[in-house]
Amino acid sequence: MVSKKIEDALNDQLNKEMFSSYLYLSMAAYFDNINLGGMSKWMKMQSEEEYLHAMKFYDFILRLGGKVKLAAMEAPQTKWKAPKDVFEDSLKHEQFISKSIHKLMDLAIEESHHPTKSFLQWFVDEQVEEEDNVQQIVENFNLIADDKSGLFMLDRELGARTAEVEQN
């Protein structure tokens, strides 16, 4: 059985993960609209990964005997000044999600809810990887500055992303 407090917090995170998927899909559409198909592919894959994260929360809530509560989502941002700005916003969003996961872990510890602590450890580790991946892309943008050939090469590199098998 799960407490109302933990159930509500898990549902809140589920909805944040769903929004993350929606936001990354919006970012993909931005890249498609400016003909950066590699970056679009990267964002579409990120959107799918975030959806899978949301479904992990969905399934976990049900396994605990809780009720899934989907909330309304606000529309994600759709316009950016430049491709680098999209990835900077992505990094900020991942940092926001990391903080949210950490607060949820703190609650699980405070409530001594061991199943939730165990479940969340994967997400704690995953967020380190998520932030690092996007940080590296932002640093690549800093290296290429306004070099169009560098942008082209980065687009091709990001388009080579392949799906990773998720654990947990």
Q: What value does the mean pLDDT of the chain take? A: 96
Rounded to two decimals, the pTM is 0.95
The predicted-structure confidence for 26-50, as pLDDT tens digits, reads as follows 999 999 999 999 999 999 999 999 9
On the question of pLDDT at 91 being above 80, the answer is yes
Residue 163's pLDDT is what? 83
Name the pLDDT band for 167 (thresholds 50, 70, 90): low
Name the pLDDT band for 1 (thresholds 50, 70, 90): confident
Residue 164's pLDDT is what? 72
* Three-state DSSP string of the chain: CCCHHHHHHHHHHHHHHHHHHHHHHHHHHHHHHCCCHHHHHHHHHHHHHHHHHHHHHHHHHHHCCCCCCCCCCCCCCCCCCCHHHHHHHHHHHHHHHHHHHHHHHHHHHHCCCHHHHHHHHHHHHHHHHHHHHHHHHHHHHHHHCCCHHHHHHHHHHHHCCCCCCCCC
What percent of the chain clears pLDDT 70, i.e. is strictly above it? 98
Residue 166's pLDDT is what? 57
Per-residue pLDDT, averaged over 103-122, amounts to 98
Residue 113's pLDDT is what? 97
Per-residue pLDDT, averaged over 138-158, amounts to 97
The predicted-structure confidence for 123-145, as pLDDT tens digits, reads as follows 999 999 999 999 999 999 999 99
Give domain 4-159's CATH number out of 1.10.3720.10, 3.40.50.1820, 3.30.460.90, 1.20.1260.10. Answer: 1.20.1260.10
| Per-domain boundaries in the chain | 4-159
